[in-house]
């Protein structure tokens, strides 16, 4: 049966998920790189390094999926390259607590984003669901570690959440 006009086929929905996840994991890695550029001699550096390495693993997985499924990466990749890094540097310059507030804010949004995808996928693609769940677990851990440092910047944090949601929305579409 032909899908109704305006209805996305399962393949298109999965392509859209892979595109946004690749962009998100790429952006996350760039945020940690930016923070590390500023905070490399601080006590939080090994933690940032650890989280960055986990993002690189997530990124590798989604890169493989994007290639295997012939998904076009988002045209906004160069923007996330710069914006992710800039967000990392900016929050890093504000100090360790602001860097952690940034992580807590971004990871909270990503956790909700992955939760939404898992619901949308249902039983459709168990391998993809398993990957998303594994990433989600790491993102929840990042969020919790960051929250332990105290959410000291409510306004910064809500601005970052808004920007992250916008980045997700754009990466799904462009
Ligand atoms: Fe990640
Ligand atoms: Fe993460």
Per-residue pLDDT in tens (0 to 9) along the chain, 174 residues: 565 666 678 888 899 999 999 999 999 999 999 999 999 999 999 999 999 999 999 999 999 999 999 998 888 888 899 999 999 999 999 999 999 999 999 999 999 999 999 999 999 899 999 999 999 999 999 999 999 986 678 888 899 998 888 989 899 889
Among all ligands shown, which has an atom nearest to the Cα of 57? 1
Kindly report the CA angle at 10 between 17 and 63, in degrees rounded to 5?
35
Its pTM stands at 0.88
Ligand 1 centroid vs 132 CA: distance in angstroms?
Answer: 9
- The ranges assigned to domains in the chain are 10-173
In the 8-state DSSP scheme, what is residue 149? T
The Å distance, Cα 68 to ligand 2 centre, comes to 23
- Would you call 95 exposed, middle or buried from its count of C-beta atoms within 10 A (0-12, 13-18, 19+)? middle
* Pairwise CA distance, residues 22 & 93, whole Å: 27
Tell which CATH classification among 1.10.10, 1.20.1260, 1.20.1410, 1.20.1070 matches the domain 10-173.
Answer: 1.20.1260
Ligand 2 centre distance from Cα of residue 34 (Å): 14
Give the number of the ligand closest to the Cα of residue 51.
2
């Amino acid at each position: 049966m032909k899908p109704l006009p305006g209805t996305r086929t399962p393949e298109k929905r999965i392509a859209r998920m892979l595109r946004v996840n690749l962009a998100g994991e790429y952006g996350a890695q760039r945020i940690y790189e930016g923070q590390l550029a500023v905070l490399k001699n601080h006590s939080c550096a090994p933690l940032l390094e650890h989280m960055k390495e986990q993002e690189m693993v997530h990124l590798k997985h989604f890169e493989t999926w994007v290639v295997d499924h012939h998904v076009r990466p988002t045209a906004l990749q160069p923007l996330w390259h710069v914006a992710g890094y800039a967000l990392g540097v900016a929050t890093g310059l504000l100090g360790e607590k602001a860097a952690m507030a940034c992580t807590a804010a971004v990871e909270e949004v990503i956790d909700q984003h992955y939760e939404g995808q898992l619901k949308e996928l249902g039983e459709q693609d168990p391998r993809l669901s398993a990957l998303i769940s594994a990433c989600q677990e790491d993102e929840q851990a990042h969020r919790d570690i960051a929250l332990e440092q105290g959410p000291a910047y409510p306004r910064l944090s809500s601005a970052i959440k808004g920007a992250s949601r916008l980045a997700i929305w754009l990466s799904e579409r462009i």
